[in-house]
Amino acid sequence: MWFTPNDVINKQRLFNFVTGPKGDGKTTGCRNYGLDLFCKDSDKQAEFCVIRRYKTETQATYKKYFDDINTKFNYGLDIKYRGRSAGIMIESKTGEEIFKPICHFFSLSTDAGIQGINLPNLRFMIFEEIFLDPRKGKRYLKNEPEEFARLYDTLARPSDPARKRVPVIFIGNSFASSNPYYDFFHISLNANGEFKSKNIYALHIQDKEFSEYANNTEFGRIMSNTAYGKHAFDNDFLLDNFDFVDKDFKKSHLLYNFIYNGKTYGVWINAKASALFVSSKYDPSCIRSYSFTTDDLKPNFLTAKMFTRNKQGELTKFAYNTGCLYFESLQIKNVWFDIAHLCNL
């Protein structure tokens, strides 16, 4: 009924993404897995680390990180905190009492470029609360998947043959199936809520037992048949809205290309349907191409300011405001909403 990461880790993928309903034990299960890993290691050398997005999140949680599982699972450890680490005091071979790390805490926003960290005993990573609800004013970091890759490379040292493999489990609630990580790693869940590649595994939890339990609580009955209830108890993606998504939309001719976060898209016009269509298909020879960030700007590309001033921008804005703008996928729809926000459309 409650989540444990063992089955996910046993898939033997390096990066593992898990989206689940609120309160199903993702965080507790992963923390317990890391602590159990340390306790079962005969030399007490198996350490793990926890990553949060912002330093304020890390500071708010880390000094009470093990309070619940230490009691709940009867570890009985006297856990101490030293700097960015949690651990226990043990007696060395010389009889001296020394600090033995169990877990290390990092914040992606401030630690992605960190250097000089040496964690040779690192065996496991947890990235907590990886997925965000942008309606609450929260934002992913710029180029966040790449920033995580920088931090992972520093901590895990995967190119060092002397270091052991360090799998990561990313955990969060189901806000949107299109997000920076799934888009960056080309993760698309199948009908069973899974994605598998040689190095990546993703799981969208479908726990009928938990869902039934949560829906039958007093709060669950109050929130039944609401979008929040389906998200919190049945693990529906809260922000997924497939209105205007039509992968079979008939294109007519290309109006312009644009590039966003390194990917190029085409905007097509269908005069018969009086509609525009944003697609992953484009014509590289098209002379009308736009970039919406300085990182994407290339020779002969026009900027967002030019887009809002000319007929391509005006026509796109009109189609958007009159419900005549369609998208090939939910991911592309979300890209467009980012651009609309940047251009104040």
Listed by start position, the domains of the chain span 6-232, 253-342
Residue of 207 and 326 predicted with greater confidence: 326
Rounded to two decimals, what is the model's pTM? 0.77
CB < 8 Å & 24+ apart, contacts of 330-333: 330/177, 330/178, 330/240, 330/241, 330/242, 330/245, 331/178, 331/182, 331/183, 332/265, 332/278, 332/279, 332/280, 333/178, 333/244, 333/245, 333/278
Other C-beta atoms closer than 10 Å to the C-beta of 141 total: 15
pLDDT in the model for residue 13: 96
> Cβ of 279: how many Cβ atoms within 10 Å?
18
- Residue 250: pLDDT over 80: no
pLDDT of res. 190: 87
Q: Which strands, in side-by-side order, build the sheet including 80-82?
A: 80-82, 85-91, 97-107, 47-52, 122-127, 168-173, 15-20, 200-204, 194-196
More confident residue, 343 or 157: 157
% of the chain residues with pLDDT over 70: 99
What's residue 111's pLDDT? Answer: 92
Per-residue pLDDT, 231:
79
* 18: confidence class by pLDDT, cuts 50, 70, 90: very high
Question: What's the mean pLDDT when you consider all of the chain?
Answer: 87
Helix (H) or strand (E) holding 173, with range, is strand 168-173
Predicted pLDDT of residue 272: 81
The pLDDT assigned to 235 comes to: 76
Pairing status of strand 253-260 against strand 263-270:
antiparallel
Greatest Cα pair distance, the chain, in angstroms, is 84
Please give the average per-residue pLDDT across 300-316, as a whole number: 87
pLDDT of residue 320: 86
Both structure tokens of 297: 């700007």
Q: What is the pLDDT at residue 121?
A: 93
pLDDT tens-digit profile of 127-161? 999 888 777 777 889 889 999 999 999 999 999 99
Instruction: Please check the confidence at residue 1 and state whether its pLDDT lies above 70.
Output: no
Q: Taking CA 26 as the corner, what is the angle to CA 21 and CA 30, rounded to the nearest 5 degrees? A: 170
Which has more pLDDT, 338 or 242? 338
For residue 271 the two structure tokens come to 């005069």
End-to-end CA distance of the chain: 46
Give the integer Cα–Cα distance in Å for 53 and 139.
10
Query: In a 3-state reduction of DSSP, which class is residue 109?
Result: helix
Predicted pLDDT of residue 103: 93
Q: What's the pLDDT at 58?
A: 86
Instruction: Tell me the average pLDDT across 172-177.
Output: 81
Fold of 6-232: Rossmann fold (3.40.50)
Q: For position 21, what pLDDT does the model report?
A: 81
What pLDDT shows up at residue 178?
77
3-state secondary structure of 3: coil
Which residue from 278, 280, 259 is spatially nearest to 270, judged by alpha carbons? 278
pLDDT of residue 259: 92
Answer whether residue 107 shows pLDDT above 60.
yes
Q: At 270, which amino acid appears?
A: N
pLDDT of residue 280 exceeding 60, the answer is yes
Query: Exposure of 42 by Cβ count < 10 A (0-12 exposed, 13-18 middle, 19+ buried)?
Result: exposed
Report how far residue 30's alpha carbon sits from residue 37's, in angstroms, rounded to the nearest whole number: 11
Backbone conformation region of residue 145, classed left if phi is above 0, alpha if psi is from -120 to 50, else beta: alpha
Q: Is the pLDDT assigned to residue 72 strictly greater than 90? A: no
Share of the chain above pLDDT 90, in %: 30
pLDDT, tens digit, for every residue of 182-207?
Answer: 888 988 888 888 999 999 999 988 77
70-76 LR contacts (CB < 8 Å, sep 24+): 70/35, 72/28, 73/32, 73/35, 73/36, 75/35, 75/39
